[in-house]
Amino acid sequence: QSVLTQPPSVSAAPGQKVTIACSGSSSNIGNNYVSWYQQVPGTAPKLLIYENNRRPSGIPDRFSGSKSGTSATLGITGLQTGDEADYYCGTWDNSLTAAVFGGGTKLTVL
């Protein structure tokens, strides 16, 4: 049972838009920044979004992040087959004194 809650899977057609939600509480998302990671199976995770909505250099602007209250959202527009991967949200939890992740969302581009 993950501290942060994500849908197990989402799917959409190439060229479409998808959003992935991440729900937490006041001890984590509510008072800290959220980051998002992309993991293609068999490879290491890769940073996609940090500090809620900032993109590292090299990450296309098709990827976006937002936060409201105790929830965060990752948005991906112009879906490509190469976007098929597992996506994780993460943040620090002040009560647990630990980093926490969502359970991960598998994106399928139909």
Partner 1 sequence: QLVESGGGLVQPGGSLRLSCAASGFTFSDYSVNWVRQAPGKGLEWVSYILTTSTTMYYADSVKGRFTISRDNAKNSVFLQMNSLRADDTAVYYCARIRGATLGQFYMDVWGKGTTVTVSS
Binding site for partner 1 (CB under 8 A): 2, 31-33, 35, 37, 39, 43-47, 50-51, 56, 86, 88, 90-92, 94, 96-104
* Min dist. Cβ of residue 1 to partner 1 (A): 11
* Min dist. Cβ of residue 102 to partner 1 (A): 7
Q: Which amino acid is at 15?
A: G
- Residue among 48 and 78 whose Cβ is closer to partner 1: 48
* Min dist. Cβ of residue 10 to partner 1 (A): 15
> Would you say 97 and 3 are in contact if contact means Cβ atoms under 8 Å apart?
no
Q: Characterize 24-51 residue by residue with b for buried, 16 or more Cβ atoms within 10 angstroms of its Cβ, and e for exposed.
A: bbebbbeebbbbbbbbeeeeebeebbbe
